[in-house]
Amino acid sequence: MRISAKADYAVRAALQLAAARDTGPLKAEAIAEHQGISHKFLEGILGDMRKGGLVLSQRGGNGGYWLARPAGEISLADVIRCVEGPLVSVRGERPPELSYTGPAASLLTVWVALRANVRQVLEGVSLAEVAAGRLPSEITALAEAPEAWANP
């Protein structure tokens, strides 16, 4: 699985908004500066997140962006899906839409298992947990395995 710059930036922007939940709306410029993201690129991402119902916005001097729901109710998967679509696709198709024959027939099961595991991780972590640095034990256990940090 590959996490695009767009998905990474969207998650980082959402985390910045989660961390600022009590301070009012954040301007895109401030989010871009704090996260080292191109302001122009971030504006497009925030627009996608607004259309997807994850953030709200207000124009004007006191305007900016804020999360549409509490950070504890928004998973990393929600943010990634909002800007990129399905978490796992093969040639642009979702695994259940595929079919294989012959020696590749069981490959579909592999793709579905991959999707299930990606969902388990990304749906199992909320913006609030990441922003607070309190990840679920299942996630930290996966990351603590030495082979998780090795590049084959």
User: pLDDT tens digit string along 9-56?
Assistant: 999 999 999 999 878 899 999 999 999 999 999 999 999 999 999 999
* Chain mean position to CA 65: 17
Residue pair 45/7 in contact (Cβ under 8 Å)? The answer is no
Backbone angles phi, psi at 75, to 5 degrees: -90, 165
Taking the model in full, what pTM does it have? 0.90
User: pLDDT tens digit string along 111-140?
Assistant: 999 999 999 999 999 999 999 999 999 999
Q: What is the pLDDT of residue 152?
A: 81
Locus of tokens 């930036």: 9
Cα 79 from Cα 8, distance rounded (Å):
9
User: pLDDT tens digit string along 47-82?
Assistant: 999 999 999 999 887 889 999 999 999 999 999 999
